[in-house]
Structure 1
């Protein structure tokens, strides 16, 4: 029993799986450690966007470009056009709602644009996709 637990611990450590997922993978792979890890990697597939990822990317971009506005568009129609201060206040007062809204907007093919004080436009969707690709390639 201890040996099996050690192997499941190793699977959890290497894959970030839950103990239940690790046990299931281990049993489905005929109790082979390497095959269990491969099974979990294939099962998890591509990483999804998390709210924390969106928040970090937004903070980084706002800081980098000294942003003045946040614009959300769908098919070239402007849905939201907020000064950065209003967006920041919303983020402080309702962080989960703000982050969740941004995540849903990005996943629903809305375009999120940050406008710098010098007028330069930064597409948050593109920047976020590039950073996700960078993490998944490494």
Structure 2
């Protein structure tokens, strides 16, 4: 019985073995693919498929999250002039690295009547913008009261 390359390739693909192991198994089993697989299995030569770690669902989800973060922007504006325009991924990294500075910066932006916007891909507004608007309105009322009180004194 002659063994051809297609048979060897098929056995290699199914058993993840070398050409030599596939050829020997086929020769031992007269070209029968199933018997060759059983033969290799009994000899513990079948190797599991090696999946790279980037095929795992965790890494796929992280990739999607990073891609979405790169497509979503945080904008800080003052009188229609853009003061800051960065992607959410960078904003998260900055928050992790320098949380106190970011918190103080956001508070100063809100107190000084800057508009904070989160803009998704295709210029869609985020639900978080409603919260930023409410906070801005409250802070504006408070700062107006403080200014009025300091003027009267």
Q: Could you say which TM-score interval applies, normalised by the shorter chain?
A: 0.3 to 0.5
> Rg: which structure is higher?
2
TM-score, normalising length from structure 2?
Answer: 0.38
Report which of the two has the higher share of strand.
1
Query: Which of 1 and 2 has higher RCO (CA within 8 Å, sep 6+)?
Result: 1
